C-alpha cells in the first residue's frame, strides 16, 4: 500500500515536477519557518534582560518581518525542487531581495534606537524629542539606508542603476529649485540644532517679539509670547535676525540715573554717591559697581549708578531696584537733597494791549 502511494506521488507530476518533490519542498519550507521563528524567540528571551546592548539587540531582532521570513522559507523549499535553469536565476535574485529587505528593516530599527539613545544621553532636560537635529538625523539616515537598499536590489535584478542615479540627480536639482524656500528653512533648522542659539524653554527676544520657545521644528519655531499668544516664525527668518537669549543670562548689569536740583546744598550733593552705594550694598543679591556725579545737565545735577544683580530673574531685579529707590527717597529727604523736576521757562517779550473806556490803550498790567 505504501509502495503504491509512493509510486503515485512520484509518478504524478505538476509542471514537470513530481508531487512528492513538491510536498517535500513545502515540508522543508514549513520546518524552516517554524525553526527560524523558534530560534528568534529563544534569542529574544535570552538577551532581553542581560544589559543595555542586549536590549538593543532584542529590539532589533523583534523587528524581524514574519512575511519576509515566510518568503525566505518558501525559497528554501523552492531550492529543493528540480527547477528549470531560467527559474534558478530568478530564485537567486529573490533571495537577494528578501535578504536586503530584512537587513534593511534591522538596520532601520538599529539606527532609530541608536540615535534615540545618543540624543537622550547628550541632550539636557530630556528635550531631545523636540530637537530638529534629532529629527533631521533620523530622517537623513533612513533615506540614505533605503536608497542604498533600493539601488542594491535594482542592480541585482539587472537594472542599469547608472542611468537611474543620473536621472535622480537631475530630478533632485529640479525639485530643489522648486522648494528652495522650504529647503532654506530645513537647513536653518539644522543650523539652529547644531549652533544652539536657543533651545526649548529659553526666553528670547527677536526684534519686537519676545517669548518662550515651545517647539523647534523642521520649518518653523513656535514661541509663546508674554501676552499668551503663540508666535510661529520661519527658521530662516530667525537665524538671519539678532537673537537675545535671556535664559542664558547669569547676571544683570543695571545702569540707572537720577538728577538732583541745582538748589540742593553742596554738602548733600557730595554725600549722594555714598548714599547710593549704601543703598545698593544693603541688598543681598546686588553687587555695587560705581556711583558718580556724571555732569551738569540743563535742569539737574546728573548722577549715573551701576550695580550687578547676582540672579538673572527679572522680578528679583525689579524688587531690588524698588528697595533702592525707597532707600534713596528716605536718605535724600534727611539731608535736604531734592530730586530735579523738569521746569519749562517762558520768556515774555511784550504784553498784549487793552483798550480803556476812554479810548486809550494800556498794557494788561496797567492802571
Whether residue 246 contacts residue 295, with contact meaning beta carbons closer than 8 Å, is answered with no
Give the tens place of pLDDT for each residue, 225-264: 888 899 998 888 888 888 888 877 888 899 999 999 999 9
**How confident is the model at residue 254, as a pLDDT?**
92
Among the residues of the chain, which ranges form H helices? 2-11, 19-47, 52-61, 66-78, 85-122, 132-156, 161-178, 180-195, 235-239, 266-281, 314-335
Confidence of residue 282 (pLDDT cuts 50, 70, 90): very high
Mean pLDDT along residues 328-349: 82
Q: Which residues contact 156 (CB under 8 A, 6 or more apart)?
A: 93, 96, 97, 100
Mean pLDDT along residues 281-299: 93
Domain ranges of the chain: 1-83, 181-245, 252-335
Mean pLDDT along residues 118-139: 60
Same CATH topology for 181-245 and 252-335?
no
**How confident is the model at residue 299, as a pLDDT?**
86
**How confident is the model at residue 88, as a pLDDT?**
62
CATH of domain 252-335: 3.30.70.100
C-alpha 79, offset from chain centre: 52
- Mean pLDDT over each residue of the chain, to the nearest integer: 77
Which pTM was predicted?
Answer: 0.47
* Residue where the block lists cell 540644532: 193
Confidence of residue 341 (pLDDT cuts 50, 70, 90): confident
**How confident is the model at residue 126, as a pLDDT?**
44
Residue 363 has pLDDT above 60, yes or no: no
**How confident is the model at residue 179, as a pLDDT?**
57
Residue 16 C-alpha cell reads as: 514537470
**How confident is the model at residue 155, as a pLDDT?**
76
Name the β-bridge partners of 206: 209, 243
Residue 199 has pLDDT above 80, yes or no: yes
**How confident is the model at residue 294, as a pLDDT?**
93
Q: Does domain 181-245 have CATH number 3.40.50.10320?
A: no
**How confident is the model at residue 168, as a pLDDT?**
65
Confidence of residue 203 (pLDDT cuts 50, 70, 90): confident
Residue 367 has pLDDT above 50, yes or no: no
Q: How many Cα neighbours within 13 Å face the side chain of 147?
A: 10
Mean pLDDT along residues 70-90: 69
Amino acid at each position: 500500500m505504501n509502495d503504491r502511494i509512493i509510486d503515485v506521488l512520484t509518478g504524478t507530476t505538476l509542471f514537470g515536477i513530481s508531487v512528492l518533490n513538491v510536498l517535500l519542498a513545502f515540508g522543508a519550507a514549513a520546518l524552516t519557518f517554524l525553526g527560524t521563528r523558534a530560534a528568534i524567540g529563544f534569542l529574544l528571551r535570552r538577551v532581553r534582560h542581560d544589559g543595555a546592548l542586549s536590549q538593543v539587540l532584542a529590539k532589533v531582532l523583534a523587528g524581524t518581518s514574519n512575511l519576509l521570513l515566510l518568503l525566505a522559507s518558501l525559497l528554501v523549499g523552492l531550492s529543493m525542487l528540480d527547477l528549470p535553469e531560467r527559474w534558478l536565476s530568478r530564485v537567486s535574485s529573490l533571495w537577494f531581495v528578501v535578504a536586503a529587505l530584512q537587513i534593511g528593516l534591522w538596520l532601520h530599527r538599529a539606527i532609530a534606537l541608536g540615535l534615540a539613545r545618543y540624543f537622550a544621553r547628550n541632550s539636557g532636560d530630556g528635550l531631545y524629542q523636540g530637537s530638529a537635529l534629532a529629527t533631521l538625523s533620523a530622517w537623513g539616515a533612513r533615506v540614505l539606508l533605503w536608497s542604498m537598499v533600493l539601488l542594491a536590489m535594482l542592480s541585482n535584478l539587472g537594472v542599469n542603476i547608472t542611468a537611474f542615479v543620473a536621472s535622480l540627480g537631475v530630478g533632485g536639482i529640479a525639485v530643489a529649485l522648486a522648494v528652495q524656500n522650504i529647503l532654506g528653512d530645513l537647513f536653518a533648522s539644522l543650523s539652529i540644532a547644531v549652533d544652539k542659539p536657543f533651545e526649548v524653554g529659553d526666553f528670547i527676544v527677536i526684534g519686537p517679539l519676545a517669548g518662550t520657545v515651545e517647539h523647534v521644528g523642521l520649518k518653523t519655531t513656535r514661541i509663546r509670547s508674554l501676552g499668551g499668544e503663540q508666535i510661529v516664525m520661519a527658521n530662516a527668518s530667525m537665524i538671519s535676525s539678532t537673537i537675545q537669549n535671556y535664559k542664558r543670562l547669569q547676571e544683570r548689569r543695571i545702569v540707572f540715573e537720577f538728577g538732583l536740583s541745582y538748589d540742593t546744598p553742596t554738602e548733600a550733593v557730595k554725600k549722594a554717591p555714598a548714599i547710593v552705594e549704601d543703598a545698593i550694598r544693603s541688598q543681598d543679591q546686588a553687587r555695587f559697581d560705581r556711583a558718580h556725579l556724571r555732569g551738569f545737565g540743563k535742569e539737574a545735577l546728573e548722577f549715573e549708578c551701576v550695580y550687578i544683580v547676582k540672579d538673572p530673574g527679572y522680578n528679583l531685579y525689579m524688587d531690588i531696584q524698588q528697595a533702592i529707590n525707597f532707600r534713596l527717597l528716605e536718605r535724600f529727604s534727611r539731608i535736604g537733597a531734592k530730586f530735579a523736576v523738569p521746569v519749562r521757562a517762558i520768556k515774555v517779550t511784550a504784553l498784549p494791549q487793552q483798550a480803556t473806556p476812554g479810548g486809550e490803550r494800556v498794557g494788561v498790567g496797567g492802571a
